[in-house]
Protein backbone atom coordinates (compact mmCIF):
# COMPACT_ATOMS: atom_id res chain seq x y z
CA UNK A 1 0.00 0.00 0.00
CA UNK A 2 1.33 3.47 -0.81
CA UNK A 3 0.70 6.60 1.20
CA UNK A 4 0.66 10.21 0.01
CA UNK A 5 3.80 12.09 0.92
CA UNK A 6 1.74 14.56 2.96
CA UNK A 7 0.96 11.78 5.46
CA UNK A 8 4.62 11.10 6.24
CA UNK A 9 6.09 14.57 6.01
CA UNK A 10 5.52 18.04 4.65
CA UNK A 11 6.00 18.04 0.87
CA UNK A 12 8.09 21.20 0.45
CA UNK A 13 10.32 20.38 3.42
CA UNK A 14 11.36 17.09 1.83
CA UNK A 15 11.98 18.73 -1.53
CA UNK A 16 14.07 21.51 0.04
CA UNK A 17 16.16 19.02 2.01
CA UNK A 18 16.64 16.93 -1.12
CA UNK A 19 17.76 19.98 -3.07
CA UNK A 20 20.23 20.97 -0.35
CA UNK A 21 21.65 17.52 0.33
CA UNK A 22 21.43 15.64 -2.95
CA UNK A 23 21.87 18.50 -5.44
CA UNK A 24 24.10 20.55 -3.11
CA UNK A 25 22.07 23.70 -3.71
CA UNK A 26 22.44 25.97 -0.71
CA UNK A 27 21.47 29.45 -1.86
CA UNK A 28 17.90 30.68 -1.56
CA UNK A 29 17.59 31.87 -5.17
CA UNK A 30 18.95 28.59 -6.56
CA UNK A 31 16.57 26.48 -4.48
CA UNK A 32 13.62 28.71 -5.33
CA UNK A 33 14.37 28.62 -9.05
CA UNK A 34 14.91 24.85 -9.14
CA UNK A 35 11.81 23.92 -7.14
CA UNK A 36 9.51 26.67 -8.41
CA UNK A 37 8.50 27.39 -4.82
CA UNK A 38 7.01 30.72 -3.69
CA UNK A 39 9.52 32.83 -1.72
CA UNK A 40 7.27 33.06 1.35
CA UNK A 41 6.84 29.29 1.47
CA UNK A 42 10.58 28.70 1.05
CA UNK A 43 11.36 31.26 3.76
CA UNK A 44 8.96 29.63 6.22
CA UNK A 45 10.26 26.11 5.53
CA UNK A 46 13.90 27.24 5.62
CA UNK A 47 13.38 28.98 8.95
CA UNK A 48 11.77 25.83 10.35
CA UNK A 49 14.65 23.66 9.12
CA UNK A 50 17.26 26.04 10.54
CA UNK A 51 15.36 26.29 13.85
CA UNK A 52 15.18 22.51 14.17
CA UNK A 53 18.90 22.13 13.40
CA UNK A 54 18.38 20.26 10.12
CA UNK A 55 20.05 23.08 8.18
CA UNK A 56 22.64 25.65 9.17
CA UNK A 57 23.03 29.23 7.90
CA UNK A 58 26.51 30.29 6.84
CA UNK A 59 27.50 33.77 5.72
CA UNK A 60 29.14 33.90 2.30
CA UNK A 61 29.15 37.68 1.74
CA UNK A 62 29.59 40.61 4.09
CA UNK A 63 28.53 43.46 1.78
CA UNK A 64 25.64 42.96 1.53
CA UNK A 65 25.29 40.30 4.22
CA UNK A 66 24.24 37.09 2.45
CA UNK A 67 23.79 33.61 3.84
CA UNK A 68 23.46 30.14 2.39
Whole-prediction pTM: 0.78
Residue-range domain boundaries for the chain: 8-67
The dihedral through the CA atoms of 28, 45, 47, 9 has a sign that is negative
pLDDT tens column, 8-62: 468 888 899 889 989 999 999 999 999 999 999 999 999 988 888 888 999 999 9
Give dist(CA 66, CA 49) in Å, integer: 18
Give dist(CA 10, CA 5) in Å, integer: 7
Q: Which fold has domain 8-67?
A: Arc Repressor Mutant, subunit A (1.10.10)
Q: What separation, in Å, do the N-terminal and C-terminal C-alpha atoms of the chain show?
A: 38
- List of residues 6+ apart from 42 with CB closer than 8 A: 12, 16, 28, 31, 32, 35
Amino acid sequence: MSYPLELVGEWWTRLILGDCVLAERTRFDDIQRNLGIAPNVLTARRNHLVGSGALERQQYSEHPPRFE
